[in-house]
Chain A
Amino acid sequence: MAIGAGLCLLLSVLAVPACRRSDDGKVRITIWHQDRIEIRMMLQRQLDRFMQLHPEVKVEQLFKETEELRSGFIIAALAGQGPEIVYGPSDQVGPFEMMNIILPLEDLFQKDWLAGYDPRAVTWYKGHLYQVADKLGNHLTLVYNKKLVPVPPQTDEELIAVGKQLTADTNGDGKIDRYGLTWNYTEPFFFIPFMTGFGGWIMDDQGRPTLDSRGTIGGLEFIKRIRDVEKIIPNEADYNIADILFKDGNAGMIINGDWSWAGYLKAGLDIGVAPLPKITSTGLWCGTMVSPKGFSINVNVTETKKRWVLELIRFLMSEGSQLEATKELFTMPTCLAVQHGDFVRDNEILRNSQIQIDHGRPMPVVPELRAIWDAMRPSYQSVLAGTMTAEQAAREMQALALRRIKEMNE
């Protein structure tokens, strides 16, 4: 009796939040993204401004971690729901397109509007435009502590020389306390620069993996050399370890992406950003993957909302918005006017960032990319563990990649 009444009361209380979403007649647009906190805050400011200009629209942003963003969006969109806009790196376009959950955009944006943007910012796939990006990058760079490394190395030999100078046992306890270089080198994405430096790349134009190459072998051997022979990098370093070594001044240089610079500045480090070195034996610059981060539109968006969604995207992509973002976040803008503008030219970090982007190659958007990452990891780590030679690893990576791709596409 009493229990029954109590339960009824509880259920009615629970129903209240459900009706809290009052229908205030506004058009609701939701953006899902995976951006770090500084970008979220800036985005909120820009959204607030947009809503002031257009009081009949209410825009909300929702942060989801990268993997969850992808799987969450897939699940929601397949169920006919999901946010109107999904914002992220270009590699999400491949799977989204295959599942038919994002809209082709070429008829929705004017050609001359698109012309005002870096061609790398618009992602075409299978003949259609699927993403327009306001930021370009997501690329790795050489970040150095100016106190320890006054002049950044330009070539791999210089890198090793500087590294050796710095790597030392500073307090005489027999253990090395400071390394010349550190980075998350066990992760394939962070290995790519050395693969390209030795002339390799992960796939050809048809999306077929090309992992069994001199580039891969050269890169693997280089990393083994700087760890085991020159000993300028720690024995084991994942992202977090590398990060704190650098932050604590126990590493002179780190290879990290454009998302990390703000954190190092906030930690009080006097950092410089330089392009990754040139490999003397090949004469090639270490190129990284460059990816635009942009907007895609959910296929479930209603016609009434579409107009506002496009309006919002144009607003966030505008010159004013991009300049504001660039100044605060050090991300590379895609609006050509801002890219070639004074601020980017005068800012040391952004200048170097641009050089590295030019050395880089676009990240593939095909879904098979995941298979390739997955295939690279085991053999790569075996080489680091010493249980496989570089040549063997290159062959194994290629074989595994082909097999995974086959499994994905059956």
Chain B
Amino acid sequence: MIRNKHKTSAVRITLSYLVLGFFVLVALFPVLQIFTVSLRPADRLLSTSLEIIPKNASLDNYVALFTERPFFLWLMNSTFVALVVTVTGVALASTCGYAFSRYHFIGKKFGLLSLLVTQMFPATMLLLPMYIMLVMLHLINTYIGIVVMYSATALPFCIWQMKGYYDTIPTSLEEAGTIDGCNQFQAFFKIILPLAAPALVITALFSFMASWTEYVVAAQILQDTEMWTLPLGLKSFESNMGSEWGLYGAASVIVTIPVVILFLSLSRWLVSGLTLGSVKG
């Protein structure tokens, strides 16, 4: 009986690795092509050969990014905006989501539904009134304008998502906590929040990605090249015909790295395995 289980276990594990391997290849292939573009001279976006390291490969594009373009400036600007949005997002979503999960109040259903509603309108037609509004509020060319817009875009999902996660944590835990002597606040911070760590990671990652990669709103708001974020900088490599694909490729590779690093460092808490079982004890 145990031998059987081992055999099915071994089969299962081998299959798992095969599946993972397949998806890794699928995920990696187009990304490797972008890497290849960054190494290829003369701005060739595509190629007739499948080789990953092209003929005459060079790191010139990477060097040029930092020496000939203000890529570093864009990097700093984007990091600043993304961090602010992430911190704001996590702070607001964790509390709002908690309220929606634990409390019953008038307008709760409406509130939740309205979060969805904010996402439904096609962005195209929002540009003109948004611009008019930002001009009236003097938010053009400010980072406050951008942070507010990005938070507004990212929050609905994050709040809803946090609420969903809180819903899986029984209220009996907070009750047990208050009986043990801590107030509601401490119960929230010390008991519930750690359990909701995976959801916090998702919120952080999502908010970060929303601001790291967003282009349209940034293009409307940031008219000053000194304030450009990475997506705007990348777009400047593109012309209608005749884009600087080498630089674009190199920039894309570099832009991806912080996201992967962030994900790697946060994924500890995403799969923390800090399940209810261990807490109860």
Which A residues between 31 and 70 are near B, CB-CB below 8 angstroms?
34-37, 60, 62-68
Asked if B143 contacts A66 (CB within 8 A), the reply is no
Q: Could you tell me the dominant secondary structure of chain B's interface residues? A: loop
Distance to closest chain B CB from A33 (angstroms): 11
B223 within 8 A of A: yes
Q: Choose from B43, B48, B135, B142 the contact partner of A79 (Cβ within 8 Å).
A: B135
Distance to closest chain A CB from B87 (angstroms): 7
Residue of A with least CB distance to B45: A240
B15 within 8 A of A: no
A17 within 8 A of B: yes
> Could you list 8 further interchain pairs (A-B, Cβ under 8 angstroms) beyond the known A10-B84, A18-B141, A72-B219?
A15-B144, A18-B143, A35-B239, A36-B239, A37-B239, A75-B127, A244-B47, A256-B241
B10 within 8 A of A: no
Asked if B147 contacts A257 (CB within 8 A), the reply is no
Interface residues on B, range: 35 or more
B9 within 8 A of A: no
A343 within 8 A of B: no
B46 within 8 A of A: yes
Residues of B within 8 A of A64 (CB): 219
Asked if B144 contacts A14 (CB within 8 A), the reply is yes
Report the Cα distance A194→B17, complex, angstroms: 56
A21 within 8 A of B: yes
Residues of B within 8 A of A30 (CB): 223
B238 within 8 A of A: yes
A260-B48 in contact given A75-B128, A75-B131, A76-B131 (Cβ < 8 Å) = no
A244-B48 in contact given A18-B144, A75-B128, A266-B42 (Cβ < 8 Å) = yes
Which B residues between 169 and 228 are near A, CB-CB below 8 angstroms?
219-220, 223-225, 227
Q: Choose from B87, B225, B236 the contact partner of A10 (Cβ within 8 Å).
A: B87
22 contacts between A and B (CB under 8 A): A14-B147, A17-B142, A18-B138, A18-B144, A30-B223, A34-B240, A36-B239, A36-B242, A37-B237, A65-B238, A65-B239, A67-B240, A78-B128, A79-B132, A177-B48, A240-B46, A243-B45, A244-B47, A248-B44, A250-B48, A256-B241, A259-B239
Q: Could you tell me the dominant secondary structure of chain A's interface residues? A: helix
Residues of B within 8 A of A62 (CB): 223, 225
Residues of A within 8 A of B (CB): 3, 6-7, 10-11, 14-15, 17-18, 21, 30, 34-37, 60, 62-68, 71-72, 75-76, 78-81, 177, 239-241, 243-245, 247-248, 250, 256-257, 259-260, 263, 266-268
